Amino acid sequence: MTLISPQGGVLTSTGVPRVELEYEDASGVDTASLFIAIDDDEITEGCQVGPEGASCLPSALGAGVHGLRIELRDLEGNLATLAESFTLELQLPVQITEPATGSLTTALTTTVSGTVSPAADSVRVAGVPAVLQAGTFVAEAVPLREGANVLSAVASSSARRGRDRHRDRGARHPAPAGGDLLAARRRDHHPTADRGHRRGQRSGFEQLGADPAARAGGWSRGAGRAARLRDRRLFAPTG
């Protein structure tokens, strides 16, 4: 009997590491005798068992050290056992889906929603705690300030933390008339393996002034130029 995965040592996973093993015996293998447990919780029922091997997906596991135990008999009743331990480091992919790229708002707060790994214990958006449910999150009344804003949705668990870095800049949209306007530019961050277990999703928001020319012209130059200035800490200035 040979364990293919997980191997001992540190394993980076979303919390559901696949268990795969191969087996053979000259007398034949009694596949009905197969027993697989992680941390003394049997997972055999959910396995795909074949004449030469088996594959299983356990329920979501927490970060830390886990013990795997496998038992299997041949057709003569001889018992083979295998024990392995591994340390699980969690990936916590998180992605903002709303507000949409290029959206506009007159409000000084916004609702941010998206998807997140079920292994996450919490999500905070710009410091505002989000409500988690079935792999999604919603953070309401996330404050925005005049000028450029960067909102970070950060998923956390009891494990160590990391952050996503990839981003995709959104398109500009013209601003409608009326009120202090906010032009949203979203920057998506996609999950990447990192040394820890924290994943960030950032969105940039740019607020337009109430100048009538800026309202009418949207992203036009001239009177509306001031509306396109960005926080130089976050964006390169435009000419």
Instruction: Select from 3.20.20.140, 3.30.565.10, 2.60.40.1220, 2.40.100.10 the CATH code of 2-90.
Output: 2.60.40.1220
pLDDT value at residue 69:
96
pLDDT value at residue 158:
63
Residue 10: is its pLDDT beyond 50?
yes
pLDDT value at residue 79:
96
pLDDT value at residue 196:
38
SS (H, E, C) the chain: CEEEECCCEEEEECCCCCEEEECCCCCCEEEEEEEEEECCEECHHHCEECCCEEEECCCCCCCEEEEEEEEEEECCCCEEEEEEEEEEEECCCEEEEECCCCCEECCCEEEEEEEECCCCCEEEECCEECEEECCEEEEEEEECCCCEEEEEEEEECCCCCCCCCCCCECCCCCCCCCCCEEEEEEECCCCCCCCCCCEEEEEEEEEECCCHHHHHHCCCCHHHHHHHCCCCCCCCCCC
pLDDT, tens digit, 9 for 90 and up, residues 166-225: 222 222 333 333 222 334 333 333 333 333 344 444 554 444 444 443 333 332 223 232
- Mean pLDDT computed over every residue of the chain: 71
pLDDT value at residue 182:
37
pLDDT, tens digit, 9 for 90 and up, residues 31-52: 999 999 999 999 999 899 999 9
The model's confidence at residue 142, banded by pLDDT at 50, 70 and 90, is very high
pLDDT value at residue 101:
67
pLDDT, tens digit, 9 for 90 and up, residues 108-123: 898 999 999 887 889 9
Going from N- to C-terminal start, the domains of the chain cover 2-90, 94-228
What share of the chain has pLDDT > 70, as a percent? 62
Residue 20: is its pLDDT beyond 70?
yes
pLDDT value at residue 232:
29
User: Does the reported pTM lie above 0.75?
Assistant: no
pLDDT value at residue 187:
36
pLDDT value at residue 222:
30
pLDDT value at residue 150:
74
